[in-house]
Amino acid sequence: MRTLTKETCQILKFNQKNALLFEVLYRLLTGPLYLFLLNKGLKWSLKMAGYSYLTAGNIGYFFLKPGTIVMILVIGIIGILFLALETGCLLTLFQGAAYFRKLSVGEIFLGGLSKLSDEIKKKNWRLGLLILADYGISNLYLIYRVLTHVKPLNFVMSELMKQNAGRLAVCAAVVLVILVVVPGLYTFYTCMIEQKSFRDGYRRSRRLIKGHLANTVFLLGGYYAGLIVLLHVIYIFCILVAAVGMSLFTDNRLALAILPAVGDRIELVLIFLASMALALGNFAALSVQYYQYSNRLSREPRWDFSYPSRKSFRGRILGAGVAVAAALSLLFLFNLVRNGSAITDDILTEIQITAHRGSSKSAPENTMAAMELAVENLADFVEIDVQETADGVVVLGHDSTLKRVAGVNRTIGSYTLEDLQDLDVGKWFSEEFEGERIPTLAEIMEFCKGRVKMNIEIKNLGKDSPLPDKVVELISDFQMKEQCVITSTRLSYLSRVKELDPDIRTGYIISAAYGDYYSDDDVDFISIRSSFVSGKLVEAAHEKGKAIHAWTVNNKSEMERMKMLGVDNIITDYPVLAREIVYRERATETLFEYLRLVLK
């Protein structure tokens, strides 16, 4: 055991720079690409299923839809190919280390690509399933932690684990997979290095591990447990640093609201890093065991260790292909950050928070100042109201006249944009905001892009108003389809939006809960007064694949009720308070109480 541990450390150190560089590059290249494909697949399968959102109410039906099954198969096959390629690359890395060769990142990749190509030619498809099962078991805890952030799977998982039968079924499934995976731990080597068929490779793996099962499981289990403990220690340290920083530079209430969200992001980053460390550690340990155990069984000559030269034409072609893939992956990552992803944002956020007309209790509503504060308060959305000027420019404004915010009893539509800019819409709120002007929708979109999503309410200006068309055109011009939703009290406006661009999400604003309005194909979510939200309404909407946005939720008890009912979005004048209510696990009134809760 001591020898195995020592040699595992040695093989990890031998080419550690290139090993780390390869693993980081590989995950950064394939991760964004896979997320992009997953996002497209989810959008397509939701559309095929006739749903706008994936909820706890419709997830069972969703997974039974033919389109969903096709999507899962395609995305699953792509995922297996990515994992198999990584497995081949890591085997190449440690195969080189076993023969005292420090392979470059390019050689590691080419070796893995060659191994994957060989397995495809041999039709060793069962090896892909074994690789998937192995990654699932070795990353079991990390996968569990990721699923706690993914709705509605987190709800389903929570309900499942509450039942004795559910816990028993999960444990039985895990044990069954372990019984299949552990005897075949060296099948990757016997198939990819010794070029055996899956059946012969699995049999040889069983012979190799015979008599060494306890040592193998203990070594891998100890490494896994140690890494998980280290993960928790680093997580706690990061949370403490974040808490101290926030307590020094922000007020206690804001820190308490932000810290849980920051903690979630920290955990996801650490899980990403831990998964790379697990892959390197597991294959390093398995490589040492494989070469030690196989040498004891046989005195056959060592296998040929040769890969295409980096200077060859084939190598240059592959290098160019990798460069193109890297560029595309970076483009996908930039697109994800800059333009957003409606699907992934929805499933990774428990309840989204919308700042009503911006942070309208801290700055004048529907102004740039209110949007800036909403971003500072980490709102997920800003809700704004739009109207049209006399010269056809889309601007922000809620009331039918400007009397309340500018002191003049005239409509926005009676002004040209140039004349409208002369009005002060900040002084009524406080002297601090004197000189604040009415912004155009284009100005607000330019500011919000990549910072915060937008809920654009189109005010009812009559059935023939060109306003819906102009809003859709602006969303297209700014490429913010994934970052914007359009709402209105006029259903015909939403129908026009869907005709112009079916991919833009639309919300129907209603004041009372009467009728089967959530069955309309032109409506993706319902925006409803919070006092009318009930458990039955949320359940009915979710079964139809529609989301519920509750407005305007400004007191603590109502926020707690909305959280308990499981609404998808809380529209509020107090985004900081709402985030504090949504994220905390139980009532914690101070930052230090929250830290004690985290550290338990």
290-304, 308-322, 495-509, 555-569, range with the lowest pLDDT: 308-322
Confirm whether 72 is domain-assigned: no
In the structure, what pLDDT confidence band is assigned to residue 330 with cuts at 50, 70 and 90?
low
Residue 114 has pLDDT above 90, yes or no: yes
Buried-exposed string 241-273: b where 16+ CB fall within 10 A, e elsewhere: ebbeebbeebeeebbbbbbbbbbbebbeebbee
Confirm whether 480 is domain-assigned: yes
In the structure, what pLDDT confidence band is assigned to residue 39 with cuts at 50, 70 and 90?
confident
- Section 568-591 average pLDDT: 77
The pLDDT tens digits for 15-28 are: 888 999 999 999 98
SS3 548: strand
Beta bridge mates, 571: 354
Residue 192 has pLDDT above 80, yes or no: yes
Number of domains in the chain: 1
Percent of the residues in the chain that have a pLDDT greater than 90, as a whole number: 54
Q: What is the 3-state secondary structure (H, E, C) of 90-104?
A: HHHHHHHHHCCCCCC
98-107, 131-140, 570-579, range with the lowest pLDDT: 98-107
Residue 415 has pLDDT above 70, yes or no: yes
Percent of the residues in the chain that have a pLDDT greater than 70, as a whole number: 85
Looking at per-residue confidence, does 260 or 290 come out higher? 290
Active site residues: 356, 398
Confirm whether 254 is domain-assigned: no
Q: Which two tokens stand for residue 92?
A: 């190449």
Q: Scanning the structure block, which residue is given the tokens 């292909």?
A: 321
234-243, 370-379, 419-428, range with the lowest pLDDT: 234-243
CA distance 296 to 185: 17
Q: What is the pLDDT of residue 296?
A: 45
Residue 344 has pLDDT above 60, yes or no: no
Residue 13 has pLDDT above 50, yes or no: yes
Confirm whether 365 is domain-assigned: yes
Confirm whether 137 is domain-assigned: no
Q: What is the average pLDDT value for the chain, to the nearest integer?
A: 86
- Which residues contact residue 11 at a Cβ distance below 8 angstroms, ignoring those fewer than 6 apart? 94, 97, 98, 284, 287, 288
348-357, 373-382, 509-518, range with the lowest pLDDT: 509-518
Q: What is the pLDDT of residue 300?
A: 44
Q: Scanning the structure block, which residue is given the tokens 């039918």?
A: 400
Confirm whether 396 is domain-assigned: yes
CA distance 598 to 585: 10
Domain that holds residue 435: 349-599
SS3 528: strand
Domain with residue 584: its CATH number is 3.20.20.190
Predicted structure pTM score: 0.75
- Section 560-565 average pLDDT: 91
Residue 263 has pLDDT above 50, yes or no: yes
520: left (phi over 0), alpha (psi -120 to 50) or beta: beta
Confirm whether 267 is domain-assigned: no
Confirm whether 389 is domain-assigned: yes
Q: What is the pLDDT of residue 229?
A: 92
